[in-house]
Amino acid sequence: MSTLIIAEYDQQRLRASTRSAITAAAVLGDAIDVLIAGENVGAVAEQIARLNGVRRVRVADDARYANPLAENLAPLIVSIANDYQAIISAATSFGKNLLPRVAALLDVDMVSEVTAIIDSNTYVRPIYAGHLNATVRNEAAVKIFTIRATAFEPAIEGDNTAAIETLAATEATSLAHWVGSAIQRSERPELSTASVVVSGGRSLGSAEKFQQLLTPLATKLNAAIGATRAAVDAGIAPNEYQVGQTGTVVAPDLYIAVGVSGATQHIAGIKDSRVIVAINHDPDAQIFQWADYGLVADLFDSVTELEKSLLH
């Protein structure tokens, strides 16, 4: 079975979620091609070519792909879709925006957020905010699906030397134009792939307190910072920090939940974490049902104490 992975990158670096998609595709067979579309993406194409498992990198290097506009990328993917039995992307904002368009243009169903691939037609995906896993069969001629990156180990760089091939750009849409982007650059690990995440809830009270308490702890642990939706809605934490059903799904080695109630929609985004630590002053808080370690304490005292007790 030949599979096409749609690559996602940021500032000349391939995203780890794309590497996870390559691992997922390996279950379907070893004919794995990766499509990278962008402007001046030669360096990223070379990174991809070195990843174990990649057969061929197809590069569409053109100014019209300088920004990841799904309206322009979908026709490009469709132009080579005949070569593949499966087209996969990670279930990131990029993939979730792009693949439904591809599926619609090809007039096939798509399956989203796959967490396990049983065989070429059969996949597992969470439903009801992760409370149940559905096993679904997809009989479409071209299988189109997004994978949940946290469910698959990222493919690693080896001594692979996949062929790199140039693709012609397809016509650009006149309906949608990229106006601009406001990107928060951070030295911290990326939330979706960080091995440690420190998250705060609404109880931190203000954006200043949120940063003041969580940043030193996260810095010491080289952690990404996350937040509940209630914290985001209250303006305490930025949107991109949101973890959960409608935010980022994480599965770090260590997840520290500070003043987080443990609502179902938050748990949906963290339950695959290896170790969950919760700090909450309410011993009956739902988060303790999920925590491996719980501290019943006031967060305003205990977070600083915890941070100070950690070695640099």
Least separation in angstroms between residue 285's CB and ligand FAD is: 4
Residue 288 to residue 183: CA distance in whole angstroms? 34
Q: Does the footprint of ligand FAD cover residue 53 (CB under 6 A)?
A: no
3-state secondary structure of 74: helix
In sequence order, the β-bridge partners of residue 9 are 14
299 binds ligand FAD (CB under 6 A): yes
Q: Which of residues 156-215 bind ligand FAD (CB under 6 A)?
A: 201-203
Contact region for ligand FAD (CB under 6 A) — 50-58, 118-126, 158-166, 264-272? Answer: 264-272
Nearer to ligand FAD, 259 or 294 (CB): 259
Determine, following the binding rule CB under 6 A, whether residue 3 of this chain makes contact with ligand FAD: no
User: Where do we find the tokens 């059969």?
Assistant: 122
Per CB under 6 A, 261 contacts ligand FAD:
yes
Single out the segment in contact with ligand FAD by CB under 6 A; choices: 104-112, 138-146, 212-220, 229-237: 229-237
C-alpha dist (Å) from residue 277 to 72, 186, 291, 295: 43, 24, 5, 8
Number of residues near ligand FAD (by CB under 6 A): 27
Contact yes or no for 149/20 (Cβ under 8 A): yes
Figure out which of the listed residues 4, 225, 260, 276 binds ligand FAD, where binding follows CB under 6 A.
260
Distance CA 266, CA 228 (A): 7
Residue 95 interacts with ligand FAD (CB under 6 A): yes or no: no
Residue-wise DSSP of 111-143: EEEE-EEEETTEEEEEETTTTEEEEEE---SSE
Nearer to ligand FAD, 135 or 246 (CB): 246
266 binds ligand FAD per the rule CB under 6 A: yes
Smallest distance, ligand FAD to C-beta of residue 248, A = 8
Does residue 96 contact residue 106 with C-beta atoms inside 8 Å? no
Helices and strands, number each (H, E), in the chain? 8, 17
Q: For residues 30 and 282, which CB has a smaller minimum distance to ligand FAD in the complex?
A: 282
126 binds ligand FAD (CB under 6 A): no
CB of 298 to ligand FAD, least distance (A): 4
Backbone angles phi, psi at 57, to 5 degrees: -110, 125
H/E/C letters for each residue in 223-256? CEEEECHHHHHCCCCCHHHEECCCCECCCCCEEE
Looking at 145-153, 158-166, 211-219, 298-306, which segment touches ligand FAD (CB under 6 A)?
Answer: 298-306
By beta-carbon proximity to ligand FAD, the closer residue of 128 and 178 is 128
What are the distances in angstroms from CA 87 to CA 16, 126, 224?
Answer: 18, 20, 30
Binding of residue 247 to ligand FAD (CB under 6 A): yes
Contact residues: ligand FAD, CB under 6 A: 201-203, 228-231, 242-247, 259-261, 263, 265-266, 269, 280-282, 285, 298-300
